[in-house]
Amino acid sequence: TDIPPVKDVVDEFPVGAAVGPAQLIGNHAQLLRRHFNSVTAGNAMKWDATQPTEGTFRFTDADRIVAFAQANGMEVRGHTLVWHQQTPDWVFKDAAGNDMTATPANKALLLSRLEDHIRGVAGHYAGDISAWDVVNEVIDENQSDGMRRSRWFEITGLDYIRTAFRVARQVDPTAKLYINDYNTNVPSKRDKLYNLVAQLKAEGVPVDGVGHQMHVNIDWPSISETEAMLTKFVPLGVDQQITEMDISIYTNNSESFPTPPRDRLLKQAYRYRDLFDLYRRYASEITSVTLWGLADDDTWLDTFPVTRNDAPLLFDERLQAKPAYWGVVDPSKIE
């Protein structure tokens, strides 16, 4: 079947999908190649995957993803160098093997591990990555200073962020360096993120862009709130990317359908239409849009926030185009 490639219809910016090794073979690989011109490793570049024990780097899965992308002329987004999840326990152990407390010695040790990790991973892929999510999900809008109380923050304050960006710039000067977060459409969170980026830029920390994850659902957020999210960052002169988009068919934690109801899939299609229309209107700000998965057979939303069958992407479990696909490609064909 000769449906138009998403990447040809949406030509204002690269359109990507988050993938793992399973998406690089067979029908999945064909679909990925046909419709997308950017990829992100869903898990393979994270700390637990790339440096599971201290000093031992493992790049098997991530190398396959990068090789696939290069063989098919696709960009690679790097995800992610620093996060509070999927980071091995050894990172936060002190010299005696106990959980780190906030001492100057532990801060120095943690920052040197951070630097080694970024040299190892961003160094390995230097020249191959269009944008790195240097730090992921560092904002907590319920803190008055806006900073998530992760181990990173508790032990180093803001220095882990400053170090991460400076080292990443040094080892891979061609990658755009991003700060990535979810719920950036929520005004209180968006404003805290804005303040942090403004401060970092004023200090000369090399932040190039803001990544909006955009894990949303068929009712939330509104298009105008999403537009306000984009306009907010324009005065900072940073690039923006949509980094992890999906549209859940669920609007609360107690719903569960064995198969996605038709009315929800249609609602989802119109949401995809409206959000892509918005992104395309902001093409001077937005330098790529990535979906958090290739097709509904493999989505993190099948197990989060509860286990149930979700259908948040453009292609269904049999890799067929959904109404959501037509929402992006040709809304007159939504049915």
In sequence order, the β-bridge partners of residue 242 are 212, 289
Do 252 and 229 contact (CB within 8 A), yes or no? no
In angstroms, give the least distance from the CB of 258 to ligand G3I: 22
86 near ligand G3I, rule: CB under 6 A: yes
Site string for ligand G3I, 97-136 (x = CB under 6 A): ---------------------------------------x
Separation of CA 25 from chain center: 22
In this structure, what DSSP letter does residue 58 have?
Answer: -
Residue 143 binding ligand G3I, by CB under 6 A: no
Q: Exactly one of 27, 60, 85, 256 binds ligand G3I (CB under 6 A); which one? A: 85
Of 14, 42, 260, 323, the one binding ligand G3I (CB under 6 A) is 42
Does position 58 interact with ligand G3I (CB under 6 A)? The reply is no
Q: Which of 183, 178, 203 is nearest to 139 (CA)?
A: 183
Q: Tell me whether residue 38 or residue 136 sits nearer to ligand G3I (CB atom).
A: 136
Burial code (b: 16+ CB inside 10 Å, e: under 16) for 207-216 equals bbbbbbbbbb
Torsion of CA 84, 88, 94, 97, to 10 degrees: 150
CA angle in degrees (0–180, nearest 5) for 127-298-267? 105
Q: How far is the CB of 222 from ligand G3I (least distance, A)?
A: 22
Q: Which is nearer to ligand G3I, 137 or 326 (CB)?
A: 137
Indicate which single residue of 172, 244, 285, 296 sits in contact with ligand G3I (rule: CB under 6 A). Answer: 244
Catalytic (active-site) positions: 137, 244
C-alpha distances (whole Å) from 44 to each of 61, 67, 78, 103, 280 are 6, 13, 10, 32, 30
Site for ligand G3I in 289-318 (CB under 6 A): 300
Residue ranges binding ligand G3I (CB under 6 A): 42-43, 85-86, 136, 213, 244, 300
